Chains A and B, each alone.
Chain A
Amino acid sequence: MFVAIMMSGLAIGAVYAMIGVTYNVMFSASRVMSFTAGQLGMLGGVLGAAFIDVLGMPAILGFVLTLAACALAGVLTEIVAVRPVLKSLEQHLYVLSTLALALMIQQFVAIQWSTEPQPFPRLLDFGGGGPGDEKFWLPILACLVTVVGLEVLYRHTLVGRAFLAIAEDNFAARALGLPERNLRMASYALAGVIGGLAGFASGQLLLAFFANGALLNFYGFVPVALGGLGNNRGAIISGLVLGVFQQAANFTFGGVFASVAVFAVFIVVLLAAPQGLFGAPAQRRV
């Protein structure tokens, strides 16, 4: 029982964590929190099922195409919903533009795909239904790959360092001649890949369902709020803890209590520590 709770908790937590990182990658590049983060996760699941199950592609090809399509969706977010409002003085406009785009993506999928959850194909047929099933460890593996990948990218590649520079000080980075716009688009593509990976890896867990977008939007944001804006380490830890907490509450008290408990924790932490538990920069107002 304990193993089952831990595995399912870590699996779902890994998905939340990765959506949290998706939020963060977009935020670091543009100071924008985008409602499309959760939709990217949803797209990962739906497109994976569409490519492999419906179109009958080999799993690996479906996987690559899914990530490519999600990267494209990320870039689309940047072009349609972020770039036009970045220059605006009104800071809240991005909330509306990304919300609009997220709703458009969600409704499009609902109409063109299905409004019912659809099965996601077995990829490796490994684990046989128990706590060691692939539907549990695939998301955890994907999360691990994301963590290691981001670490390598940020620490050991020039592009990664440029990402960090943009996140640290946009103006200084531009003054140094960094191609800020291209880097921003690349960041959104990267966010798309991470979101898509989260969705694809959790396809068997969450199924290919259009409403996952809104769900992931919220549960993926909780780790960001707890971990602090732009803090990937905070998001990963908070995401995993959140998943285990939710599953434990789910098994012990039932689903309603688990949801209410997560929401209550979210609100209490936000009110007590608006900057998150792991810290994020404060802003000057006057």
Chain B
Amino acid sequence: MSEAAGQAVPAQRGGAGETLRRVLPFAAIFGAGLILPAVSNDYWTLIATRAAIYWILVSGLNLVVGFAGQLAIGWVAMLTLGAYTTSVLALGNVLPPVPVFAAFAAAALVGATFGLIVGLPALRLRTFYFAMTTLGFATIVTQVALAWQSVTGGGIGVPGPVLPEPLDTTLGFYLFCLALAAFCTWMTANVAHSRFGRSLVATRDAEVAAEASGISKPRLLGPVFLFSGAIAGIAGGLFATLQSYITPEAFTFDLSVLFFIAILIGGRGSILGPLIATVVLTWLPEFAAPLVVWSTFLYATLLLVIVLAVPGGIAALLDFKNRRPLESSRAILPRPELLPEILGRRPASGGGITLRDVVLSFGGVRAIDGLDLTIEPGQVHGLIGPNGSGKTTTLNVICGFNTPEAGGATLDGAPLRPGTPQTRAPSGIARTFQTPRLIGEASVLQNVMVGGAIRGQGTFLESLLSLPRHHADEAMLREDALLALRTVGLEPLAEVRADRLQHSELRFMEIARTLMLRPRFLLLDEPAAGLSADEIRRLGALIRAISRQGTGVLLVEHHADLIFEICDRVTVLNLGRVLAAGTPAEIRVHQEVVSAYLGA
């Protein structure tokens, strides 16, 4: 995200200069690509053509691997499918021959279909499992290509498609591939700098926070797999054209390794890094003859070194902006008076959140044992109790992360379905986490913008092609995020990488992220933990002001002072049961609470 982090923020000063700085490296690379044929021979033009074709595939795969963090190590299968689809259709050995561009369209369709089929297991499977399914798929596609002789020609192969004039010359074909590569770069950059790109990174680095922000993984990843598969299919057709004759042996697993490793060496969440890495890795074996044999070994070694030494890849090495030291003595100064601007603009709220007879065990331990609780709009409800008394679990039941064995939560009288955390944000329920969940490589502003992802109107396709609604969404989200940051007092840090923030600042950043949803209910999980006394005071005022805008707040906290100062009602939990409930004044003198928990 480092590169995107710096570049997605033209914002206040010199938007044009910032855009120029962002586009310049790409312009330089593609400009060099343009003049290459003039200053070298056909051989180097062919190498460059191959690099361009690889990049077309890698640019799409980058969204899957680099942004969404899905370890698709077998994407060469899409190249194979695309190559055979175009070749077989253009040749006409099965159906009547079709025009070559129609064959390319069919390849895109086949690639998209299988991209989705292979990608969908990612919704349920964890990292290694998904890597294995793509690896298995790649193995099987090659086996089928080898065995299905009537269509693929088996081990003998089939001739690749031939493009019409003037694309049938070395130069013409190269320029065609270069233009397509530039187009793909543009499209993926549009996605990267849209709410979809940010959401992808959020599901990668802070999946739980993404779900709590209402980001639905299937709806997000579906279009990405379709797109990535489609352009991989087209790359396959171009690859077959370049090879002029394809056999299953042309699609070795080494090729898949190259694609995958180019992205990781380039840096996850970057576009420039993987582009540079793809060009370099394609070109490297030409540099010295022994490297041809050892190229895959070299790539693997590079991967190991990158993983162990430079997890951020090339992009992290190029990220100079975030090496500048931050001001060390900085204070968080929230401005609660701005809250009406954020929270005032939403529909009037109805009823509250109610928990009835909730029972939940982990193994033999009853975490919650018959809990009743009501969160009223416009009030701060404190939830206190010793460690292990079920406070966070209560939050997780409301948010749908934990499924109770009995009882359940309702909102306005309608049940909140357990196991569907991504449905809470659209209902106006937002939350923070005991350990802040953040996208470390993204800027603070982008982290906050993730919170409003579901408020965007444009579709994935509109972002891909940079259509008007994409720009409207971006402008709206940016403006709101800046307002939210101003409100919590973090605006000066908007463009800083989030992982450079202090712990207390992250707590406020999480609150800013929840404000993006304009929540009707806000669930805060120990927001004061790790804050200084001054910061706790400002936090208290902020929470209080949020509730005065009509938002119901559930505050899980250990700081008794804060609880008694700002809460309208307090519930005390012990061993999963309600020990006491009432106003702060009642709780303060409650005999059992004082002896069991508050002490003295």
Contacts and interface: CB of A to CB of B under 8 A. Distances in A.
Nearest to B362: A284
Given A107-B296, A215-B139, A267 B133 contact: yes
Contact of B308 (A84, A91, A267): A84
Nearest to A93: B307
A108 B128 CA distance: 24
Contacts of A92: 69, 71, 127
A103 B304 CA distance: 10
B294 A217 contact: no
Contact of B131 (A95, A101, A215): A95
Interface string A26-37: 000000010000
Contacts of A3: none
Contact of B297 (A95, A108, A254, A267): A108
Interface size class of A (residues with CB under 8 A): 35 or more
Interface residues of B, number: 45
Contact of A107 (B69, B297, B402): B297
Interface string B124-146: 11011101110111011001100
A19 B369 CA distance: 45
Contact of A259 (B143, B304, B308): B143
B311 A93 contact: yes
B164 interface: no
B308 A85 contact: yes
Given A107-B296, A108-B297, A256-B143, A274 B304 contact: no
A261 to B, nearest CB: 10
Contacts of B300: 99-101, 103-104, 107
B129 A256 contact: no
Contacts of B308: 84-85, 97
B581 interface: no
A33 B143 contact: no
A82 B308 CA distance: 10
A271 interface: yes
A90 B303 CA distance: 16
B147 A263 contact: no
B492 to A, nearest CB: 28
Contacts of B121: 267, 270-271
B253 interface: yes
A222 to B, nearest CB: 8
Contact of B125 (A97, A255, A270): A270
Nearest to B126: A274
A258 to B, nearest CB: 9
Best-surrounded residue of B69, B144, B294, B308 (most CB of chain A within 10 A): B308
Interface in A202-259: 214-215, 217-218, 221, 225, 254-256, 259
A104 B73 CA distance: 16
A260 B253 contact: no
Contacts of A271: 121, 124
B143 A85 contact: no
Given A270-B133, A286-B208, A99 B73 contact: yes
Interface centre among A33, A100, A104, A221 (most CB of B within 10 A): A100
Interface string B536-554: 0000000000000000000
A91 to B, nearest CB: 7
A96 interface: yes
B303 A100 contact: yes
B87 interface: no
A80 interface: yes
B124 A274 contact: yes
A264 to B, nearest CB: 9
A95 B396 CA distance: 30
Interface string B60-98: 000000000101010000000000000000000000000
Interface in B405-440: 433
Interface in B102-141: 121, 124-125, 127-129, 131-133, 135-137, 139-140
B457 interface: no
A257 B13 CA distance: 61
B128 A95 contact: yes
B264 interface: yes
A266 interface: yes
Interface in B207-247: 207-208
Nearest to B296: A107
Interface string A64-81: 000000000000000011
Contacts of B294: 107, 111
Nearest to A104: B300
A33 B392 CA distance: 31
Contact of B128 (A33, A80, A255, A260): A33
25 contacts: A81-B304, A85-B308, A91-B127, A92-B71, A92-B127, A95-B128, A96-B71, A96-B264, A97-B307, A99-B73, A99-B303, A103-B303, A108-B297, A111-B297, A214-B135, A214-B139, A217-B135, A255-B147, A256-B144, A256-B147, A263-B136, A274-B124, A285-B207, A285-B208, A286-B392
Given A85-B308, A95-B131, 17 more contacts: A80-B304, A84-B308, A85-B307, A90-B311, A92-B127, A96-B264, A101-B300, A108-B297, A111-B297, A214-B139, A217-B135, A255-B147, A260-B140, A260-B144, A270-B124, A271-B124, A286-B399
